[in-house]
Amino acid sequence: MIYQAPVKDMLFCMTELANIERIAALPGFEEAGIDTAQAVLEECARFTEGVVAPLNVAGDRQPSSWQDGNVTTTPGFADAYRQFGEGGWQGLQHPMDFGGQGLPMTIAAACSEMLNSANLSFALCAILTDGAIDALLTAGSRQLKEVYLPRMISGEWTGTMNLTEPQAGSDLALVRTRAEPQGDGTYKVFGTKIFITYGEHDMAENIVHLVLARLPGAPEGVKGISLFVVPKFLVDGTGALGDRNDVQCVSIEHKLGIKASPTAVLQFGDHGGAIGYLVGEENRGLEYMFVMMNAARYAVGLQGIAVAERACQLAAAYAKERVQSRPVDGSLPGAAPIIHHPDVQRMLLTMRAQTEGCRALAMAAAAACDAAHAHPEAEVRRREQAVFEFLVPLVKGYATEMSLEVTSLGVQVHGGMGFIEETGAAQHYRDARILTIYEGTTAIQANDFIGRKTVRDGGTVARAFAQEIAAVEAELRQRRSEAAQAMALRLAVAREAFLEVLDWVLANVKSDPNAVFAGSVPYLLLAGNLAAGWQMGRALLAAEDRLEAGGDIDFMRRKVLVARFYADHILTRVPGLRDSIVAGSEAISEMSLEAF
Amino acid sequence: MIYQAPVKDMLFCMTELANIERIAALPGFEEAGIDTAQAVLEECARFTEGVVAPLNVAGDRQPSSWQDGNVTTTPGFADAYRQFGEGGWQGLQHPMDFGGQGLPMTIAAACSEMLNSANLSFALCAILTDGAIDALLTAGSRQLKEVYLPRMISGEWTGTMNLTEPQAGSDLALVRTRAEPQGDGTYKVFGTKIFITYGEHDMAENIVHLVLARLPGAPEGVKGISLFVVPKFLVDGTGALGDRNDVQCVSIEHKLGIKASPTAVLQFGDHGGAIGYLVGEENRGLEYMFVMMNAARYAVGLQGIAVAERACQLAAAYAKERVQSRPVDGSLPGAAPIIHHPDVQRMLLTMRAQTEGCRALAMAAAAACDAAHAHPEAEVRRREQAVFEFLVPLVKGYATEMSLEVTSLGVQVHGGMGFIEETGAAQHYRDARILTIYEGTTAIQANDFIGRKTVRDGGTVARAFAQEIAAVEAELRQRRSEAAQAMALRLAVAREAFLEVLDWVLANVKSDPNAVFAGSVPYLLLAGNLAAGWQMGRALLAAEDRLEAGGDIDFMRRKVLVARFYADHILTRVPGLRDSIVAGSEAISEMSLEAF
């Protein structure tokens, strides 16, 4: 077994937490009930398990390579990407108008998790293409949409996002790439972009670069940045390919992980100027990026869940095989598979609880996103959008930080073998390490979570979030089981800690921003931990209901235990985070910069 | 700046925490006062910074390689190792009788930290040689000592520890390598050993393998294992080298990190039998290994501190250089070095506080070790030995787990550049990952900490440890500073949590060992966190005293702040660990093995 898609857990999340039948009642999603979901997930499982997952190790050992401006991807990648496009997977959540399937994010997210579990490097090409599609859908002219979108949605062409420059990483105000209008409606683009994922490769016949650049005389800072399409090969009005554009891949990076995905340095305009097309209006590039940022950040959160799931499976399989030492309770006469040892069980359950908690959270967020897009009532759309935007930095920030812990435990479960590359656990550990960095570091997510998602509305959405949790606690308290009681207790303590921090943030953010932002990442981790715990609380209630009804006993019992483990082992970290946020800023602010 | 040895912090730990003048009053250590310490540390800083540290990156990019049974190490390693031996560094803490310097562990530990910061892979050869020297000192015959020790202490020959076999990792009861007596006092050894660090290399003229093997008719399990010397080249009574012995390096591993250090598979006796010499008595091999185990585990704990220190330095330097984004408090008009951002400060201080806390703990443990060896009164020796043995699993277990967090933060501070191998942060992240695994995984340390160090004496040493902390709290409470008050509060809460867990462990370890051992690693992390916090509390008191006296204001102020940061950000994790230990076993024990 290389990878087994957790279809059952995904369907449980959809029915019990994401309320998929409610989504299927929304206009446009009439076909997207649980039967469709199950059929799509099972087909996706077959494809990702059978075609994509087997390429994961090869991608690490024989990564993308660069020569004379061309990038050769790992053998097998191009063929698998062709199958990916032909199977309609790139278009899953995109509009039917341009050849997509028009499915809700709730279903597409599950498929994206599978693709990423199978092969994080491979999936990146699809994620970046999704981002470019979203950018064109958001702001592209009708002509740009008609020429580019069908070919991107079919997987024939791929997309890239060109934001970063050597001096401009998190801080896009520093972007220097420039675009000069040519008088014929086109532009010539000049500049250097770095860290461009799949910026050059041999898996598709064209690459559609979305590029942030400044027009002559544009304002300084982020308000003077525009967005351009710069195709690798020029395209005529019918979509036929023409000459090579003036964009060159001058090198790719030697990275810690996700080695199969080429990370390119792109040089625009060294030979006269790369021809580009303005997307939307001048100087609104960053705004367009922000519209799609939520989707891209959410997708990276899914990557965290995905690599964690894969690490869980690898570690559990090893723990059942590897025989070492007698059980501590003397229950067996000699050495036993290490899964008998309580600490191995603790590690595996930590991995499981964190992964399933974040999956549940991601599914709940996807449901909010679907309602925000498709609900007929504007007020509901607005409310659901606010919930989705509140949850996105938690899915991105918390699920990726979680993936660092889970993949590290995955190495640990393997003991010495975990440090040997052949075992595979180390690859997950290396691959995961980028997830807390790209699409905005955890600190950037935390700034967003404090600034836009907590403070801007005076804590309204944050308090509503806490109230939803209180309601789950009330339900849990009415149950007889120890598991429900434990969950109710831990959720209550964590929720109260969250509210204390919330009050402190709101009270101090203006008068002492340094103190508040020194606690930004712990605040995000606290809220993410609580949000996943909230969903595990709901999962526990649902699983107990299903047990009562006599259904699927093994799965539901297991879910109750994983949820209880989450309560006692993961939620218990929350009060410590509160203490370090509320009391911990002075040791930071009093330190002189020289003393670091 | 590649690496700058933290000589000042080490000397502070020695004078204020390890009480080096008390050590210098012990018989045999008369020369080892603070002046000697300072001279040795400064010389060691010069050597490690100038000769060893520059080879660290080369070791990663051009690691040891194997061909036809021979291992070629990274260019420069052999020459540096020759200088290491000639400088007397291998012999620092070994007896003068065999050519060593006879210095206390307190000084040798600081030098070992430097060597490991400079180059973890390089330092491993010295650590393993130390282990082999200790084994021979413990149990070797006079002849073995006279022939082998002077050449190992001079660095001419190196040593290895051959414990692990494919089926026998943590569980040495499963060792199958066998030794057959030849009637002439020698033995022939047959078997396969894996994960043998520096099991083959080109840095010394001979390699002295210490090998665990079974004699014919020996008892099953750990009581039937004997220890043998098996040299790579046979040696006559004068130490002159003879024929190649029948031990072959059949391959080396492809590892996640510490790539320059060859990890060998050794085949003993494929061509008639490898000639070996019994060390000590038959069937007492494991006992001898345990005698030296404390030193070896302590040394790996130092490796954690060492790689964390290096990661701290790299991250702080980058944070002072990299310009990105305007400070959140608006204190500067434009983008600033990222060290201005509160979250970067939080990350750097987390790294610093963890590293300095563990260094302080390791120094205090070394002082106990020195007193345990050299104190004239047997009762003091016994008591100090018990303290040292209590602290060793904390130094090993906690400082190495800490190094995973610190090296990961080191990557994070670098943002996208952290994921690019050229930056260097990723190497520390990869290198550190072995530290929680070899010389006994964290779970093995935790079992030792619960079984031998906590339960066996009914919690006596553990309670004495808590009392020492209470005394520090009392002193802190008498200070006026907010920092001292914060530290007193957090230490008290953490100490009480420790005592709760201790009572729970003692009450349940016999009736419900699975529950107790499910909490073993959190218990070790709790105690390690508290132990380092205890030393940071002492450091805070000492630094305030020195400030009062007007000495070294910048250093002492900084130390107070780092200690306060430790209190508010690291010690605050302790109560959550208590909760998950005391309440968290049921979700683990109720899970069926199939459900994982």
Q: Which residues of B touch A446 (CB under 8 A)?
A: 343
* Amino acid occupying residue A526: L
* Min Cα separation B341/chain A (Å): 8
Instruction: Identify the CA nearest to A203 among candidates A129, A114, A277.
Output: A129
CA-to-CA distance for A108 and A103, rounded, in angstroms? 7
Tens digits of residue pLDDT in B150-179? 999 999 999 999 999 999 999 999 999 999
Supply the DSSP string of B333-382, one letter for each residue: SS--BGGGSHHHHHHHHHHHHHHHHHHHHHHHHHHHHHHHHH-S-HHHHH
Residue B31 burial (CB count, 10 A): 12
Tokens of A400: 């990726």
The answer to whether A482 is a known catalytic residue is no
Do A518 and B345 make contact, defined as CB atoms within 8 angstroms?
Answer: yes
Q: How does residue B1 score in pLDDT terms, banded at 50, 70 and 90?
A: low
Predicted pLDDT of residue B291: 80
Tens digits of residue pLDDT in A437-475? 999 999 999 999 999 999 999 999 999 999 999 999 999
Tens digits of residue pLDDT in B505-525? 999 999 999 999 999 999 999
Predicted pLDDT of residue A290: 83
Predicted pLDDT of residue A292: 82
Which chain A residue has its CA at the smallest distance from B337's CA? A593
In this structure, the dihedral spanned by the alpha carbons of residues B26, B31, B37 and B43, taken in order and rounded to 10 degrees, is -150
* Min Cα separation A523/chain B (Å): 11
Tens digits of residue pLDDT in A111-125? 999 999 999 999 999
Catalytically active residues of B are 439
Best residue in A197, A569, A574 to probe B by mutation, most B CBs within 10 Å? A569
Best residue in B124, B162, B343, B577 to probe A by mutation, most A CBs within 10 Å? B343
Q: How does residue A424 score in pLDDT terms, banded at 50, 70 and 90?
A: very high
Q: Is B239 helix (H, G, I), strand (E, B) or coil?
A: coil
Do B164 and A416 make contact, defined as CB atoms within 8 angstroms?
Answer: yes
Predicted pLDDT of residue A551: 83
Per DSSP, helices labelled H in A433-571 are 442-450, 460-477, 482-508, 513-518, 520-548, 553-565
CA-to-CA distance for A314 and B122, rounded, in angstroms? 32
Give me chain B's average pLDDT, please.
Answer: 97
The answer to whether the beta carbons of residues B225 and B213 sit under 8 Å apart is: yes
Best residue in B346, B489, B586 to probe A by mutation, most A CBs within 10 Å? B346
Q: Of A49, A309, A439, A473, which residue is the catalytic one?
A: A439
CA-to-CA distance for B191 and B193, rounded, in angstroms? 7
Torsion-angle region of A73 (φ positive above 0: left; ψ -120 to 50: alpha; else: beta): beta
The answer to whether the beta carbons of residues B301 and B109 sit under 8 Å apart is: no
CA-to-CA distance for B93 and B95, rounded, in angstroms? 7
Tens digits of residue pLDDT in B180-216? 999 999 999 999 999 999 999 999 999 999 999 999 9
User: Does residue B495 have a pLDDT over 90?
Assistant: yes
Which chain A residue has its CA at the smallest distance from B256's CA? A419
CA-to-CA distance for B437 and B253, rounded, in angstroms? 16
Q: Which residues of B touch A584 (CB under 8 A)?
A: 565, 568-569, 572
ipTM value > 0.95: yes
Q: How does residue A552 score in pLDDT terms, banded at 50, 70 and 90?
A: very high
Do A576 and B576 make contact, defined as CB atoms within 8 angstroms?
Answer: yes
User: Does residue B232 have a pLDDT over 90?
Assistant: yes
Which chain A residue has its CA at the smallest distance from B429's CA? A430
Tens digits of residue pLDDT in A480-523? 999 999 999 999 999 999 999 999 999 999 999 999 999 999 99
Percent of chain A whose pLDDT exceeds 70: 100
Do A352 and B574 make contact, defined as CB atoms within 8 angstroms?
Answer: no
B430, B554, B583 ranked by CB distance to A595: nearest: B554
User: Does residue B446 have a pLDDT over 80?
Assistant: yes
Q: Which residues of A touch B586 (CB under 8 A)?
A: 482, 564, 568
SS (HEC) of B167-200: CECCCHHHCCCEEEECCCCCEEEEEEEEEEECCC
A167, A554, A596 ranked by CB distance to B339: nearest: A596
Predicted pLDDT of residue A386: 97
Best residue in B9, B265, B328, B354 to probe A by mutation, most A CBs within 10 Å? B328
Alpha carbon B532 to its chain centroid, in Å, reads 15
Predicted pLDDT of residue A127: 97
Predicted pLDDT of residue A278: 98
Tens digits of residue pLDDT in A76-85? 999 999 999 9
Do A443 and B344 make contact, defined as CB atoms within 8 angstroms?
Answer: yes
Tens digits of residue pLDDT in A370-407? 999 999 999 999 999 999 999 999 999 999 999 999 99
* Amino acid occupying residue B532: A
Give me chain A's average pLDDT, please.
Answer: 97
User: Does residue A1 have a pLDDT over 70?
Assistant: no
DSSP H or E stretch at residue B161: strand B157-162
Tens digits of residue pLDDT in A302-349? 999 999 999 999 999 999 999 999 999 999 999 999 999 999 999 999
* Min Cα separation B588/chain A (Å): 6
Do B587 and A253 make contact, defined as CB atoms within 8 angstroms?
Answer: no
B320, B345, B421 ranked by CB distance to A256: nearest: B421
Predicted pLDDT of residue B290: 83
CA-to-CA distance for B16 and B542, rounded, in angstroms? 6
The answer to whether the beta carbons of residues B319 and B525 sit under 8 Å apart is: no
Q: Which residues of A touch B350 (CB under 8 A)?
A: none
Predicted pLDDT of residue A293: 85
Q: Which residues of A touch B166 (CB under 8 A)?
A: none
Tens digits of residue pLDDT in B335-361? 999 999 999 999 999 999 999 999 999
Do A419 and B429 make contact, defined as CB atoms within 8 angstroms?
Answer: no
DSSP H or E stretch at residue A136: helix A120-139
